[in-house]
Structure 1
Amino acid sequence: GDKRGSQLAVALERLRSICREDFQIVGLSATIGSPDKVARFLVGTSRKCHVVKVPVARYFNIEIASPKASGADIELAAKLYTHPEVVARLRLIRSLVEKYRSTLVFTNTRALAEILASRFRVWDLDFPVSIHHGSLARTSRVVAERGFKQSLLKGLICTSSLELGIDIGTIDMVIQYNSPRQVTRLLQRVGRSGHRIGLTARGVIITLDSDDTLEAAVIARRALCEQLEEVLIPEKPLDVLTQQLAGLLISRKRWAFDEVIQILRRSFPYRELTESELRSTLTYMHTRYPRLAWVSFDERVVVRPQASKELYKYYFENLSMIPVEKQYLVVEESSESAIGVLDEAFVAEYGLIGTKFIVRGSPWKITGIHNDRIYVKSIEDPTGAIPTWIGEEIPVPYEVAIEVGSIRGRAEQELKSQKDPKEIARSISAEYPIGEEIAETALEDVRNQVDLGIPVPSDKRITIEKWEDYIIIQCSFGSQVNRTLARLVGRVVSEKTGVSIGVQQDPYRIVVQAPSSILPSDIAHTFLGLSRADVKKEAVEAATTSGLFKRRLIHVA
């Protein structure tokens, strides 16, 4: 689903041309949502393949827990410097770790993994858990892996770093802290437990609020029904094409256009590559300084340049399609003291003067940006502040968010028809792997709004609310759709009013920070206007002015 796959597909075709014969490819995955497409991707456009699908979902046992704080949790919260609700979740994690021989605790971000690990250290320094994520030094990760495999540790708090591949021995239980946000993520993570024939994979999802609980219920249902996200394969990425053309020239000095395009078109991502696109890429390589290729369009050949040092350097320095993520130092403006670091993903989307964010548990406001430094000042009001780990968040698919909205819409209709809330929760529990009490709690917001006569946002309804300087657009469209809509709304309203508009989003709402002169009705008119406008054109224009676009451009260039 990313450019590493495109690189692999072309590399396999290059290998076939070197071998001058075909070879067998076996692809193996437990979490592929579109196996036929992936099969075509692996073998190329003209070869036969056979998909063997073994249903495994029936061997999964997935529960959802949303623990409530008790009196003991309130007392312990003071010791752990956190909220009683957090302590209730920590207590559940601890009880599960103590119950099973080996447990993985997955979080969606490194920051959250660090927070959980630090709370356990404060609670009990001897509790046998450790932490594992990609930002730790390799030696730290290896020590944690060995300790877990040798049963010196009973639990590992981790991110996607332990989702795949690494051998850490037998795992009895998986805890997912917060919704896993995607079906494939849930199956990969829970699938690490009970990893033997005949055993059941066991997982518990610990949720925080109604969004989290309903989202987890939808994802768990889809996982058990094997409704996985479709694999999206990038079409004809030109940065990969350039790198692979460089590889061809390293392996052989001279190539005819027809040979090159034949090799490329045999790979699935480049099956529809046009000669015009190939010429354009070769022109870039020919005119670039230092030159990567010498091209004769009259003779229809591409030749390795005589001074080929730069070609080798370009090829080997760009072997990895994983972009290097830059980090920015956060500095307190008056004292010049370091506060922490921000990832490039966060700065690209939210790194504007005036943005509020949370780091080290406190709210800050950006006052200036200079080179690799973000200057900030401390603020009292955390309203609207963005957690710094938001850039790491796994996107929630449109299909999942829409189903969450449909549950709320269905509950609204049934409550309006005077159906008992417990009966509604019972029917939800019958369809989703969620307890009746947890389902009822997750639908309390819906019940409160129905009691007040306020329309409930659903899969078929968008609602717009105003609170102080914030306008909240409630729309259950998932991370990527809402991100696009947020950029569109911000751009259109800014152009109409001449006022700078701040926007944030999550899978279920868009938050617009605007002066009091901008009303919810203005936002509603903007949405209605979008339905008539050329949305794709507007979205592209909005994207090209964003920090996210600039970041991606730097990665590709």
Structure 2
Amino acid sequence: MTDSAVAGGVDAFAALSEPVRAALSERGFTTPTEPQRRAIPRLVDGSNGLVVAPTGTGKTETAMLPVFSALADDPPEGMGALYVTPLRALNRDMRQRLEWWGETLDLDVQVRHGDTTDYQRQKQADDPPDVLVTTPETLQAMLTGSKLRAALADLSHLVIDEVHELAASKRGAQLTVALERLRELAGSYQRIGLSATVGEPEEVGKFLTGARGCEIVEIDAGSAVDFEVVSPEVTAADERLAGELATDADIASHVRLIRDVVAAHESTLIFVNTRQTAEALGSRF
């Protein structure tokens, strides 16, 4: 499908299966983001694809909604989909993000990495999940186990998050070997890459699929972004809030501003300097 066809008003969500559309409605998602609008119609037919877009534009759902749609319509016997991330911390984040969809669509979503217990590993080998979130290194280790190899023979979709981080690295070279070993096990399967903005997306696409062809959907959000710099003034309400939070009024004024911004928007991404600060803010909202 061409960009002009997608831009011409095709409803990306309409291409998804009925259970996924119902879940979207339950979740309150009525309008696709730009990456979703342009990429989902291409991915839902099983095409390989690379989605290049800034953070916060819904790339994860862009890849996984078509995957969930396919698996909900035709549940796998083994592992139907792998979601590969470069970091274990991302594994945990992705599991939390995807579990709701799995529960709603009656699909088992699990995570496997270096910290996964032996008990859980054995359970996954005996009763493989429908969707497994893992790392490149753990994926390679999985390919040595007979039960897991049998489970992976049913693979139909593979998503690589932050694929640009891997494309030009030794880890990436090792991952490409694992992808080809998967192809020997499962035959042809859909490959989807998610990337931040990069200078040469075609090279990342070649890393992802080799010579098999790759639809590249590149989103340039620069011209659509408005910037506003705000420095809040301390108010009497901030003084009272500072007492409640056991902090100073200047910090309280910033917390108040963040609260107002969050309340005024459907989604908000907040950047802070430390994990401790992020957790503290998260507990307040």
Q: What TM bracket, shorter-length normalisation?
A: 0.3 to 0.5
The structure number with the bigger radius of gyration is 1
* TM-score normalised by L of structure 2: 0.44
* TM-score normalised by L of structure 1: 0.25
Which structure has more RCO (C-alpha within 8 Å, separation ≥ 6)?
2
Higher strand content, 1 or 2: 1
